[in-house]
Structure 1
Amino acid sequence: MQVTDGMGRALLRVFEETQTDADGRYRIGPFAPGLYTVFADGDGYVGTKRQAHPIASESETLDFTLRHAVLVEGTVVDEAGQPVGAVSLWLRRPGEEATGAEGLLDFTDSREDGTFRMDAPEPGEYSVRMMHAEFVETERPVQAPAKGARLVLRSGAAVEAEVVDESGRPVAKAELHVLPEPIQSPYHDKPGHTDETGRVTLRGLEPGRYAVVAAMPESTPLRTVRRVVELRDSERQRVRLQFEEGLRLSGVVVDQKGRPVAGAEVRLAPASMVDPHKYEHPELEPYTDRLDEAWFSGTGQTNQTGPDGRFTVPHLRPGTWLVTALKDGYAFDSRATGGTRRPLGPLSGVLLSAGTSDVRLVLESLGYVRGRVVGPDGSPVTRFLLNELVQEDARGEFRWPIHGNGEMVLAFAASGLAGTVRKVLGREGEDSNLGDVVLSRGRQVRVRVVDAATSEPVHSAIVDLRDPSGADPEENRSLIYDIREVHTGPDGTHQYEARPPPQSDFDGTLVLENVESRPLLVLVSHPEYLKASVPLGAEAREVTVPLRAGAWVQGEIRAGGTLLDHGLVKLSTPQGEYADSASLDEGTYSLGPVKAGRYIAQVDSIHLPGEEPAPVFLPREVEVPASGTVTLDFEAQRTGTAVDVRIAEEAAEVILVTGAQPLPGSREQIYQRFSFGHRTEPDREGHFRFRMLPAGHYTLFAVQDWHALEISLHREEVDVPARETMSLTVKPRWQPLVSVPSE
């Protein structure tokens, strides 16, 4: 491959990830067969790219010819004329969208002395957008070619914040954010941290109304304080933020027999993490990472029960919190605890109000499957995977919790040994002993992956090995040990680096070492083919896996004849099962490969701040053949009725489905019934608003609470007339339908 300029001269450097030699030649790869976008650029040249370029073999030749660029050179200075370094500069054509990277012609950072250099594709007028943490984002016109251009940054307004605790003492290292008021997501803010005196200055703010929010460092639960300020251009405004003492939450943690549980962790999360529409705390938006880490990993959580099982959590903001309790050997029993149950990720809790003093949290004692993993000679295996989680023990011992009654499947894998599976009948609260799990050396199996239609080899296919009882790739039951390296952190904990999954070579083959001599399943996946699985006999040494190409669904998404820039296309079965999704790329999408069958395609358009409301698209049904490509284009609704639904009681969602639809009788029927529906959640005023609905007869379904133990629905039929607007008030008659399994 060779890259040259317009005169045929070789370029020395084209792209950061790979370099050309003195003759302008480069080599990159290898790549799996498919379509790729290949980009080439060089200092002083106009970058170029080849979109959807097919690569079909081990070696592919692709030459580029780059044109000389028109140089834009100059200096970035502040309003006092002083040079400013580390300024991000984006070059665009004038009038083009200034947010995001679309339409970006070149970008760079100013040097320490404020100087910069960028490449324009041709002479003419351009716009340069400048970004720096201590200045207002500024856009200036520039003429190309330019030498000695002087671009002036705007200083803007500034907030001088002082943060103190409830006693008036300075708070060092407080995390501060200045956000536009009202706070909306996505948001743009100025972050910072206070110094040892509790002070910080945040510069580069446009005139306007702002919320200044500070968070106490290492506080669990998160403590915040908020002040609203109005800034004028070039103003420096002082703000004092003082944390309040807050409310307390206290109570006791007990087991099922009412005995106090000492040393249990009481973990809290703001209710807005469960339902941001019902419990609005927009000032918490900048702290979502901290909130997630505190809830899901317990980082920084310090609320422990004493010997009597009692606890007190101080400094809570007024309002509703999600509360749970955790201790090794126990599981939180939200049913026995009572109250309003809510799941949040893998944990569940109950909703409680700050200031409550008689909380009673119930923990259920767990049973465990216990045992020991050993090699063929009986020596302990000290590091292994159990259901794809790393276990380490000098004696090879393990302990796996029992949740619920019924058969459990445990998959073991270790380095240099054959993975295996053990099944055990688990009973809540009772221990079960597996004894020694002996891992053998196993056999060697050669896997060959081919195209089902042509029998040609398929390379870069990912291969997995499963017991037939754990064949679902969504379950963590792989028999392949995928840990490559173990690093010891400063605190003595181990960090594990995964090795790439086994992949077929260019001849379509790979060898699996250490395969147990029992009937197994070989699972194979590849981005250009449907997933496949074939049985592997107990004594087989070779297996061929044919991959079928499947079909693709592609098309264009337009609104008013214009290709849509942002959005997502989703494909699901009529039963509501997810099949595939794809983001829009310059108004086009491509979904696949998918199996033959009937699907529902939906377009989720995105409403960006400052833009017109997102266009509305009706779901479409598509019949997908066994192979080939189906073209499915979407055009946004041009006319329709705006329907404003008000529910007399609190509801989570409203769905309007065309025609007269009966009340669903199961969760599966709910998914199927709602697949073609128009769905919306409540806005800030509690209204459910639909835009551009076609006139006709509909069935309105209201969902009271998706997270409740029993899903309750309201159903009524409505007629939508052919006019601009329609208002509808619904007095729900809730009917419970589906019970949700307990955790």
Structure 2
Amino acid sequence: MRARKLGWWAALLVLALGVAGVFFRESRGRDSSANTRPRNADAVSAGARFARPLTTHAEGSLTIVGVVLDAQGPVAGVRVSASRVDADTLSQRACASDLQSRRSSCAGKTWLTKCCFRERGSELARLVAAREGEAPVFAQTVTADDGTFVLDGLPGGAFTLWAQGDRGTAMRPEVPAGSTGVSLMQEASIFLSGTVVDEDTWVPIPGARVTGVLEAQSRFFDALTDAQGRFRIGPLPPGRYLRVVSAQGWRTTAFRDSVWLDTDEDVTLEVQKQVQLEGLVLTTEGQPASGVTVHVFSTGVTDDTQSTQSDAQGHFIFEDVAGSPATLWAWNRDETAFGDVRVTPPAKVVFRLEPVTFMEGTVSDERGRPLEGVLLQAGDSPLGDKPSPEALSDTSGHYKLGPLPQAAMNLRLLRARYRNRNEEVDLRAPHPGPWNFTLQRTGSVEGWVVDTEGTPLSGIRLSLFKGPGGAMQSDFIGETEARSDDTGHFILDIAAEGSGYLFARSEDFSSVEQPVEFPSSGVRVVLSRGASVAGRVVDAKGAPLPHVDVQLWDTSPRVEAPRSLPVDSEGAFSATGLTAGHYILEARLQTPGIEHSVSRPIKLEAHSQATVSLRFEEGRTVKGLTVDTDGQPLAGVRVQACFSLEEAPAWRIGSPSCDADRERGVLSGQDGHFVLNHLMDPAYQLVAWKEGHAFVPARSGGGTSKPTALVVMAGAEDVRLVLQERPWLRAQVVSEDGMPLPSEVWGWNHRVPAPAGAVEFPLLKDGPGQVTVMAKGFFDLERDFVVSPGQDIDLGTLVMRRSRKTRFVILDEATHAPLVGAPVVIGPSDSDDRSYTGLRPDPFFGNLDTEGGANVEGLPFTPIIMSVTLRPGGPSTDVVLDARQETVTLLLPTPNR
């Protein structure tokens, strides 16, 4: 890399005059010799710790030359790089396209969209941890003493330039290779900071890698947590960031929110320990099932479905699963047998494949004539790898539906001009002969949808209403929705006779509401393109804002929900198919301290086209101080600004809640000062939060106090937010032998771990309260108390009573062989009416292990009657246990599906 010597004042002059040729002195960046090393090269090395070493990509012959500046002039020792988003980067790569995704609304969207994260978040985390989807870097260097740089070896095309130093950052997109005289102005930057902790114990995790991904550019920035689990990434340009945590022994986890970061962030990232789930899968004959694909889905964990294959002995293992309830399932190769089981890892489990069921029969009308084309749907599939089974009846009305893995389901039968039928089907119950059904003919509204030129329109949604105002759900006629087919034809079945309204809607055409008779045929619905609106969202400098939410509000009295408009990478949006009327176009941008909003009224005439620009101005600020009740500065307080309800316009519905918490808001500094920038509304509600404190608006100053907030005017600079320290609850949890007992405490729907049995947390509400203490192998313990202002509560030593575990072994009554892998439910019998000193024991749901056994925990040391059921809905057997019985063996008939 080359550069030629030039004083920075001269460089500024040349750039100001627009002269393209800039002379730079020779430089080799970080590989320079000692006499050309930038003065602050050591600072550069330290500042670069947040990013992994960059690997450059395809070489070319073009260069980009320029200078890095800040408010004081050129900046030496700044790391400059050129990257480019391509089709393989996460911001461009399509979300996973397996069967489950194709059935979702996220199909075709990119990996870094909210929709894809919601359904494929765990897989996205694994991609980032494997460094997949990162924008390739084509060149990198370090600025010389005069701030100049040369990026060489570039192929043709445009690049995003990055300047990252200890005094700030600069990012400039769409710079063509071959450019000269490029200036990168360093501006305010942000830092991503926080703590990585174990989700169960909140113990900090040292040595974890935290990766921040700038969503718009797919650039990855890394840091390692220190001994206290703390990390700090930056300086970084403002934007929206995905955060991914990976650490040895913990599950790789992605964290995403909709906040555009324009100030420093400090968060707590909770990750789960890696746990194993292993087991044995058996054939229908009870032999090891080798080469079977076993799937596991963790409940409550985004998209967390994993697969593996059983070995020659039928064994399988998942090394990294969530420690939350999960479903295991498998099919044999020809899909004639299926098995599943519920389990909470870590665990060892056994389950057996059972022959699957098919439903077969005929569908006819009320006169006994066979019906062709009846769609039979077997309800929602409980499995992520297969769609819900469906079947169509043939010309003789015959159908065959399956394979059906679930034993009970909701069956739907659908056919145009016939009344829909829903049947609760239990395949476990005896059913002689085929499953035959009869459908009753019904009236219908039938017709075609065309545009103003008579061209048929497909995919138009149509529905029937009893009265005008189709958006009012109270007037909706149930099960009368349809879409027009490729020829524009539609059929809406309806049993009622009379008159009503037909409502047709599409995002590309103006909605139409027209009167209609029930039944009727030959109905013609004509849709016009209607009015349209298009525009861009920009910031105060005119730069596009791609990460905003744009909503179009129809101010008609009967319309409530706004229409969301997609925004592209250039901040552009558009909407068509609008009816004439008055609208409000609004753009919202969520930042750490406030959700910013800018709006503009629009009046649309029929078939008109409006072009609108929404601009976020610089706005004003609110400056203030967070203090305690003695007036002393209080650091680390999160301050959140919300729309003032008194100032909210009539059209704005559903303003965000005004609640501060441990993750939301702008943090006050060590001196208690805080600043909220870019405020555009006349007034705002301020709320504040800090662990162990309560915000007291009545004692705060600089605005008008409300019960839960302080209303201040934009531009105020003398705001004082007062927080009062709350009482704390303390206790020590021990076992019956006096040893500290690891446990967790639940109160006010909040969980507090107590790894060493020491309980300590603030009490946020005055008045009566209750906590429940839980520990594995012990009965839950409840304590009531009353919270008074300024008074801590010490519950003293809480002694937990141990519960017992009883092992149930179930054998085949004919062969005395263990019923390995059989599903079983074991719980307190309904015939046992005795009262319990503690909570009623939870039932055991699962499969019998390799010995035909199941361990049931949480039982009292008193006689108890337990009920054993070998299959859901099957007969149960009661067993009387004495006060200390630890094992019980039962002889039961083999369950048959």
Which TM-score applies when normalising by structure 2? 0.42
Bigger radius of gyration: 2
Which TM-score applies when normalising by structure 1? 0.49
